[in-house]
Structure 1
Amino acid sequence: MIFKELSEQEFKEFSIHFSNNNFWQTPNMAHQRMKRGYPYSYVGILENDQVIAASMLSFVPIFKSYSCCQILRGPLLDFSNLELLSFFHEQLVSYLKKKNILYLHMNPYFPYKERNLQGQIVENGFDHSHIFNHLIKLGYTHEGFTTGIDASREPRWIYTIDTENITQDDLLKRMERKTIRSIHHVMDYNIQVHELDRNHLSIYEEIIQDTTQRRGFEFRESSYYQNVYDSFHEDGYVQFLYATMNMQDYIHSLQKDLQKHQDIVNQSSIRLEKQESLKIRRKMNIAMEQVQIFQKKIEDANHIIESDGNNIILAAGLFFTYGQEILCLMSGVYEKYMKFCSPYALHWHMLKTCIEKGYKRYNLYGISGIFDESAPDYGVYLFKKGFNGNVIELMGDFEFIVNPKMYSIYQTLRKIKHKMRK
């Protein structure tokens, strides 16, 4: 086996066909980070003149002429081949020493232990502890089997939905009832999904800002989203989508439901005139309650038309399409329009795209890994769980100290700087 620097074309040809590839390990990501001041290179392992493992390395300047090397959601190799993993590590460390790298950070896009929807370990499920132990043996330190949401790290827990070899109807039938009802609602309301061009990314940004403020997350500047668009859109790897609704379509849908329940009231009233029946009266009372509910919804809809117009923007999302999956990196919805279930329109649209184009899975991405009501994102998890997918626990974040002496000096100076700020 031979370790060497790869050309961009060599890396691209390997990465795009690698079974467990991802958009973080692409030239597109390398170019995006370069715009932020982070140089990059590509390395790989060749056997019989064929690339069998590779990685995009991103370098973050941190101290004098020294940098940190980040392997974002990589490297791209067969982790079950421990001999290959060891060879890659040993050769990579030698390579990084020549580049004034203090330490290496990586977070492999690779599962750890199989989990069920309650987050419990599946009996007789897969267990990659031997790979984790091998990385520790090689000298890596692990940042812990973390739970929760950390804005400074990619999530260790994600949620995916299998979309390979399944029809739309079968996929829909697998979901929880509430999710099925919500998807039917967005279809009845005729909520439409559209793609944003670069000149209209502000529509996405405004929705995300509304969402992040509500949930206490950090909002990224416009330049970040423009950079993402510029780096990935030309190759078809990214889409900024948004959902809209015509209020007249919505009112028309409500009027149909209103009429259905009004018919029940009228028919029940006629039958009760002929003969008293507790069952019919109960049915009529329920229908009367529904009539009042739909009348109120129509009234509220007319108020929205008066204040916001007939065509309203509801929700938006950022979606990456690459390799085996479509991934929703971030989505949001205006709080005042949450009752219209519009996020389901976005996700159902992309789930159908997964099926139509043969992607293996739809990735709803980060969850906290805490599966009870104490979790700050418990409501978000219940939303994702309704699609009846898979909880994926990833290996997590690893560090390897490449230059122990300079790393120790760097850490000491950081502590001094931190104390001076207090």
Structure 2
Amino acid sequence: MSYQFIAHLDKKEHDHFVSMHPLGNLMQRSNWGLVKDDWDKQYVGLKKDGHLVASAQCFIRKLPLGLTMIYLARGPLLDYDDFDVVDAFFTNLKTHFKKWGNIMIKFDPLLVLKRSAFDTYQYEAVPQHPVLDILARAGALHQGFDRDLYRYGQPRYVTQLSKTVHDRDNYTRNALRNIRKGERKGVEIEAVDVRGVSRFARVIRFTEKRKNIGLRNELYFKKIMEAFGEDALLIMAYLDQKAMLTTMTAKKNELQAKIDATTEGSPRQRKLIDQFKASEREIARLMENMKRDGERVDLAGLLAIRSMGQVDLLYMGMNETYRKYYAPHMLYDYAIQWGFDHGANIIDFGGMDGHLDDGLSQFKASFNGEVVEYLGEFDLVLSPLLYQLYKVGWPLLKKIKFLIKIGENRL
């Protein structure tokens, strides 16, 4: 038995390995490397008796003073139960990158710690998992089991919906009601190509301002669309306010006619009067919104990627002014159906806070998905001194960049 470390693995060989590996995922595909063009990339692998048994797309971030850090997003791909393979791969990986003046290698493979229904999930502060011991023996430092959504490079908690349990009737009553409300209010969904990215970027900015977070810009979303082609889904929820105004005006007139033809003061008439007043309020709202935003307005948008039997819902933004039109519920419903119709077995709703008590978590839970908790993030230290400096300085730098981004959003 012999191991051979491949420092410059052929990209096609890597992509083939990704497509066949049980831990293969979107972020290890070379397409994702095209999106992350502000990082240098390198493909590495490990062969055992001539057969590839490990592979990784390595993202290389250049830092001040000629230093670098290496990030294996949702990788590497290997058998984590086989200590010999794990040890051989990481030993060679450290030797390879240490000579570059690197600080560390960070990685966060898709190793599931727990799957659970939302209502039965129980947090464990120090859970046990055999891979933790294997990686510790290989020199990797686990970065803890924090539940905060933004603590790590990738979320440790996601929501996933399996095709085997999907049934629209299993959505919560609230989700189904909101979808119907959106439909009644005239919200429509359309799939757009790369030319619609500017529309999507505009609704993303509404979300950034509302949540005081920094997401991505129009150029970034365009890169995703171009890198993944037909595997990318960009959908927009919009409202034709002029058409809806015509519809609501006709409805108001119809209600008035029914009121006039109904017995004065009867329960039936009182109900019709309530509906009439509601239509008047909706007409007033439409006229006000149309004056400000035009005859047709984008309410929300969602960007998803299909990859290896899974659809990842990556980004969603919403114009908060139109929150009572329930466009996000309609977008999720559309994306779920699109994913399963196009061969996916899993729909990944993306990251969430591990406390499961915030609005985003509850929204995702309403589509009958399950909580998936990953093992988390690991560091391989290449320079102990520089690593300690990094641990102190990097969070501060991230906070400064975050505050700058928020300031830009408020301008």
Partner of 1:238: 232
Aligned to 2:108: 107
**Residues 270 and 369 from structure 1, CA distance in 2 versus in 1: closer, same or farther, beyond 3 angstroms?**
same
Over the residues paired in the alignment, what is the CA RMSD in angstroms? 3.4
CA 1:351–1:104 in 2, change beyond 3 Å: closer, same or farther?
Answer: same
Separation in 2, partners of 1:303, 1:315:
19
AA partner of residue 75 (structure 2):
G
- In the TM superposition, what are the counterparts of 1:195-344 in structure 2 within 5 Å? 195-230=191-226, 232-234=227-229, 236-247=230-241, 250-251=244-245, 269=263, 281=267, 285-286=270-271, 288-344=273-329
Alignment-derived partner of residue 278 in structure 1:
none
| Inter-partner Cα distance in structure 2 for 1:271 and 1:219 | 55
Greater mean deviation of Cα atoms: 59-68 or 244-253:
244-253
Q: What is the rounded CA distance, in whole Å, between the counterparts of 1:22 and 1:106 in structure 2? A: 14
Q: 1:399 aligns with which of 379, 384, 405?
A: 379
Cα offset, 1:216, TM superposition:
1.0
User: 2:362 corresponds to which residue?
Assistant: 382
Summarize deviations over 1:200-223 as a string: whole Å, max 9, x none. 422112211111111111254444
Q: Deviations over 1:215-255 (max 9, x none)?
A: 1112544443344344x244x34343322122355457757
Pairwise CA distance, 1:301:
2.3
- Alpha carbons of structure 1 residues 219 and 2: separation in structure 2 relative to 1, 3 Å: closer
Deviation at 1:139, TM superposition (A): 2.1
Secondary structure, counterpart of 1:21 in structure 2: coil
Q: Is the 8 A contact 2:306 2:344 kept in 1?
A: no
> Normalization by structure 1: what TM-score?
0.80
User: 1:364, 1:411 → 2: CA distance?
Assistant: 32
Partner residue in 2 for 1:193: 189
Give the C-alpha shift of residue 59 in structure 1.
1.3
Residue 16 of structure 2 corresponds to: 13
- Which deviates more, 215-224 or 65-74? 215-224
Which is further off, 100-109 or 77-86? 77-86
Shift of residue 44 of structure 1?
Answer: 1.9
Q: Residue in 2 aligned with 1:51?
A: 52
Q: Is the 8 A contact 1:189 1:249 kept in 2?
A: no
Q: Which runs of 4+ in 1 moved over 6 A?
A: 255-268
After the TM superposition, which residues 160-171 of structure 1 pair with which residues of structure 2 at under 5 Å, given as runs?
160-162=160-162, 164-165=163-164, 171=167
CA contact (8 A) 2:241 2:297 kept: yes
How far apart are the structure 1 equivalents of 2:336 and 2:66?
A: 46
8 Å Cα contact 2:116/2:372 also seen in 1: yes
On the 8 A contact 2:70/2:105 being kept in 1, the answer is yes
Distance 1:115 1:75 in 2: 25
1:85 corresponds to: 86
Task: Call closer, same or farther: CA 1:411–1:314 in 2, change over 3 Å.
Answer: closer
Instruction: Identify the residue that residue 409 of structure 2 maps to in structure 1.
Output: none
The equivalent of 1:370 in structure 2 is: 355
Distance, in Å, in 2 between the alignment partners of 1:260 and 1:385 is 39
- Give the structure 2 partner of residue 144 of structure 1: 144
Measured in 2, the distance between the counterparts of 1:80 and 1:412 equals 29
Q: In 2, distance between residues paired with 1:270 and 1:80?
A: 77
Deviations 1:64-89 (A, max 9, x none): 44421111011122334444333322
Query: 2:408 matched to which residue of 1?
Result: none
- Judged with a 3 Å threshold, the aligned counterparts in structure 2 of structure 1 residues 391 and 63 are, in CA distance, closer, same or farther, namely same
Query: Residue type matched to 1:389 in 2?
Result: G
User: What TM-score does the superposition give when structure 2 sets the normalisation length?
Assistant: 0.82
Q: What's the CA shift string for 1:179-218, capped at 9, x where partnerless? A: 1122223344453333444444221122111111111112
Alpha-carbon separation, structure 1, partners of 2:74 and 2:64? 24
2:33 is aligned to: 30
Deviation at 1:62, TM superposition (A): 2.6
Contact 1:11–1:54 (Cα < 8 Å) also in 2: yes
Task: Tell me what 2:154 maps to.
Answer: 154
Distance 1:259 1:17, change over 3 A: farther
Q: Deviations over 1:155-190 (max 9, x none)?
A: 11111111x246xxx621111011112222334445
- In structure 2, the partner of 1:359 is 344
1:13 is displaced (CA, Å) by: 1.2
2:45 aligned with 1:41, yes or no?
no
d(CA) in 2 for partners of 1:165 and 1:119? 20
d(CA) in 1 for partners of 2:164 and 2:117? 22
The 3 A distance-change label for structure 1 pair 84 and 268 is farther
Report how far residue 334 of structure 1 moved.
0.7
Establish whether residue 2 from structure 1 lines up as the match of residue 7 from structure 2. Answer: no
Note the C-alpha offset of 1:306. 4.1
Partners of 1:51 and 1:94 in 2: how far apart? 19
What is the CA distance between 1:402 and its match in structure 2? 2.2
Closer, same or farther: CA 390–296 of 1 in aligned 2, 3 Å: same
